[in-house]
Structure 1
């Protein structure tokens, strides 16, 4: 029997040139991907106006803590540069 992967989604935008709608669009795309692949979304983490040049991002750090607890199997991002 195959198990359904548990997914944590991570979305971020980095600057004043982007807006919260950017996060909404990322989440919509990831939700669609999970639906098509029969994956279960268990957590969504978002950081607004945070650069990827550092991992000092509150929700990113929470995701790392939660991963250590085994709360999900996969971290999904819309594009690798969001990670």
Structure 2
């Protein structure tokens, strides 16, 4: 199974290390499941309220639609979207 990891933090007041922590958690999950990490996508200091202006999520969606990945991992559902 080819997994994509998506990480995001929403404001300038949060630490950029938050993204690396999210990626680490997702990599550990992929390893436990025996999944290959096919790519990591991230958006820094970006709201999850909209998909507009989020280059990382847009690249993830393109790769998912092309069949390059089978599953998406995120540390929490609200990292992908607020709604």
TM-score when normalising by structure 2: 0.91
Q: How much is the aligned-residue C-alpha RMSD, in angstroms? A: 0.7
In structure 2, the partner of 1:25 is 21
In structure 2, the partner of 1:16 is 12
Q: How many residues align?
A: 79
Name structure 1 gaps, 5 residues minimum: none
In structure 1, the partner of 2:75 is 78
TM-score when normalising by structure 1: 0.91
Q: Which has the larger radius of gyration?
A: 1
3-state secondary structure, aligned to 1:49: coil
